[in-house]
Structure 1
Amino acid sequence: MVTLNKIYTRTGDGGATRLATGEQVSKAALRVEAYGAVDEANACLGLARLHTSEDAELDAALARIQNELFDLGADLSTPPRPDETNILRMVDSQVERLERELDAMNEALPPLASFILPAGTPAAAHLHLARTVTRRAERAAVRLIEAGEPLGPAALRYLNRLSDYLFVAARHANDRGASEVFWTSGATR
Structure 2
Amino acid sequence: MKIYTRTGDSGKTSLFSGERLKKNTIRVEAYGTVDELCSFVGVIEAVLPQNGSRDILSRNLRSIQRDLFAIGAILATSPESGDIHLLQNVEKARIEFLEKEIDAMQRDLDPLHAFILPGGHESAAWAQVVRAICRRAERTIITCAESEGPDNLEEIMRYINRLSDYFFVLARYLNKCEGIADYTWHEE
**Percent same amino acid among aligned pairs?**
41
For residue 148 of structure 2, give the secondary structure of its aligned residue in structure 1: coil
Q: Deviations over 1:127-162 (max 9, x none)?
A: 100110011000000111121333424111111110
CA distance in 1, matches of 2:150, 2:16: 15
- The reply to whether residue 135 of structure 1 matches residue 135 of structure 2 is yes
Superposition pairs of residues 39-58 of structure 1, within 5 angstroms: 39-52=35-48, 54=50, 55-58=54-57
- The reply to whether residue 29 of structure 1 matches residue 25 of structure 2 is yes
The one-letter code of the counterpart of 1:46 is: G
Give the corresponding residue for 1:17: 13
**How much does 1:105 deviate?**
1.2
CA contact (8 A) 2:120 2:180 kept: no
- The reply to whether residue 183 of structure 1 matches residue 185 of structure 2 is yes
RMSD: 1.9
The one-letter code of the counterpart of 2:17 is: T
- Structure 2 unaligned segments of length 5 or more: list them: none
After TM superposition, the structure 1 stretch with the greater mean CA deviation from structure 2, 62-71 or 173-182, is: 173-182
**How much does 1:89 deviate?**
2.2
After TM superposition, the structure 1 stretch with the greater mean CA deviation from structure 2, 150-159 or 139-148, is: 150-159
The one-letter code of the counterpart of 1:67 is: R
CA distance in 2, matches of 1:147, 1:86: 23
CA contact (8 A) 1:94 1:158 kept: yes
The one-letter code of the counterpart of 1:111 is: P
Superposition pairs of residues 1-189 of structure 1, within 5 angstroms: 5-52=1-48, 54=50, 55-81=54-80, 84-152=84-152, 153-176=154-177, 178-184=180-186
Q: TM-score, normalised by structure 2?
A: 0.89
Pair 147,85 (structure 1): closer, same or farther in 2 beyond 3 Å: closer
The one-letter code of the counterpart of 1:118 is: P
Q: TM-score, normalised by structure 1?
A: 0.88
For residue 57 of structure 1, give the secondary structure of its aligned residue in structure 2: helix
For residue 157 of structure 2, give the secondary structure of its aligned residue in structure 1: helix
Report how many aligned residue pairs link the two structures.
182
Q: Deviations over 1:168-188 (max 9, x none)?
A: 011101125743211127x6x
- Structure 1 unaligned segments of length 5 or more: list them: none
For residue 11 of structure 1, give the secondary structure of its aligned residue in structure 2: coil
Pair 34,85 (structure 1): closer, same or farther in 2 beyond 3 Å: closer
CA distance in 2, matches of 1:183, 1:151: 40
CA distance in 2, matches of 1:88, 1:46: 23
Pair 151,168 (structure 1): closer, same or farther in 2 beyond 3 Å: farther
